[in-house]
Structure 1
């Protein structure tokens, strides 16, 4: 059991040491710090950086030194990774940054469509059904582009918009099969993400139908708690262990760690 997707105080999570101690308590063998980062030169991306302060592109070397110090004080395998916002227009900047930064592996994620975070339900409540369907279609088009770019080892929470009530359940099997086919042809792989698994809505990414379609295409998975706080590591790691056993999965590691 290794958790390849947690956050630290270098984006919107807790201190590194506390996350490591929680992973030890959970009986994990490895922990990957994948803090948020975007490097797009577009004004919208610059605005997000100012609003959220996700500037790992400026602080990753300092975080790397901190991770190195922690490695001397734990039996866990600790990984120095990144979660990057993806937009096709930013591929050049992303590729250049990843080539220079030298992370152990990289996670890519789609959070925005038309400049709007797909997790903000209030942005979609008043939209007509056809407009909601267009948002969903655009999301999966972008996810396919992310996978086909092969910039990343892992694609995070591959049906993120299932967290958003006005968009939930609007994806089609055709869209799922298209994404699964892209994964089957790519080095990039999805994760089982437990970031909302223990909420009242019990959302696991990918949702059941999408999960089964990915398995039909023989797509492998990594595991990620998407934890931001120590207690989330422990609770979600237990959930993931049960999930793996229930579905008889053999989770894998990010491709970069196998190379």
Structure 2
């Protein structure tokens, strides 16, 4: 069992050593430290980056030195990775940064549509159903663009809007098929993400209807706990192990780690 999606204090998680220690204690064979990063220069994302500190482009070398030290101290694989916010307007900047930084793998994620974070219910509660459906359409347009960009090894939480009650359940099989067809033709693979699986919302990404479509298209998957705190890793890793066993899935590592 390897967990390819964990955060540290280099974005919005706990101390790097604490996260790795928790992964080792949970019996994982490997853990991927994939801190958030945003390289957009537009005013709003740049301001959010300053507020939340998603600036791994400025700190990845220091974090890399920390990871190298931890590899001597712990008996598991520790992967040097990144989770990047994707916007089609930033493809050039993302490509240049990834080429410069040389991470072992890169995760791409869509968190926002039209300047709204799709995880914040209050941004959608006053919308009509038609307006919400339009947001869902644009989310999946952006997700397909992420896959088509071929910038990323992993696509994170591919139905993130299922976390948000005003948007939950509005995605259709047509949305899922578009993404599945793009993934089937891409090196990018989606993850089974346990970030909200053990909450009251009990959301597993991708949701069962989406996962069925991915399986119909023979799309491989990987796994990630999306943990931000050490205490989250053991239970989420156990959940993922049970989930893939019950569903008959055989998760893979990103191709770049298997070469």
What is the rounded CA distance, in whole Å, between the counterparts of 1:128 and 1:78 in structure 2?
A: 46
Alpha-carbon shift at residue 60 of structure 1 (Å): 0.3
Describe the superposition over 1:54-92 as per-residue Cα deviations: whole angstroms up to 9, x where unpaired.
Answer: 110000000000000000011100000000000000000
The match for 1:185 is 185
Determine if contact 1:41/1:93 at 8 Å carries over to the other structure: no
- CA–CA separation in structure 2 for the residues paired with 1:195 and 1:111: 14
**Map of 2:231 onto structure 1:** 231
SS at match of 2:231: helix
Structure 1 residue 258, shift from structure 2 partner? 2.3
**Secondary structure, counterpart of 1:72 in structure 2:** helix
Report the count of equivalent residues: 259
Q: What residue number does 1:125 align with?
A: 125
- Report deviation, 1:200: 1.1
DSSP-derived class of the 2:190 partner: strand
| 2:25 is aligned with 1:25 | yes
1:103-156, CA deviations, whole angstroms, 9 ceiling, x for partnerless residues?
000000000000010000000001001100000000000000000001000000
Determine helix, strand or coil for the equivalent of 2:108.
strand
Q: Distance in 2 between matches of 1:44 and 1:188?
A: 28
The question of 1:242 aligning with 2:237 is answered no
Deviation at 1:44, TM superposition (A): 2.1
Secondary structure of 1:233's match?
Answer: helix
| 1-structure distance, mates of 2:245, 2:172 | 28
**Aligned residue number for residue 211 of structure 1:** 211
Q: Deviations over 1:161-188 (max 9, x none)?
A: 0000000000010110010000000000
Query: How far, CA to CA, are the matches of 2:20 and 2:50 in structure 1?
Result: 29
**Equivalent residues in 2 for 1:147-186, closer than 5 Å:** 147-186=147-186
**Distance in 1 (alpha carbons) for counterparts of 2:128 and 2:243:** 36
Give the ranges of 4+ consecutive aligned residues of structure 1 lying more than 6 Å apart after TM superposition: none
- 1-side partners of 2:248 and 2:154: how far apart? 21
Q: 2:256 and 2:44 mapped to 1: Cα distance?
A: 30
Structure 2: any 5+ residue segments left out of the alignment?
none
State the distance in 2 between where 1:72 and 1:47 align.
37
In structure 1, how many angstroms separate the alpha carbons of the residues matched to 2:14 and 2:254?
A: 23
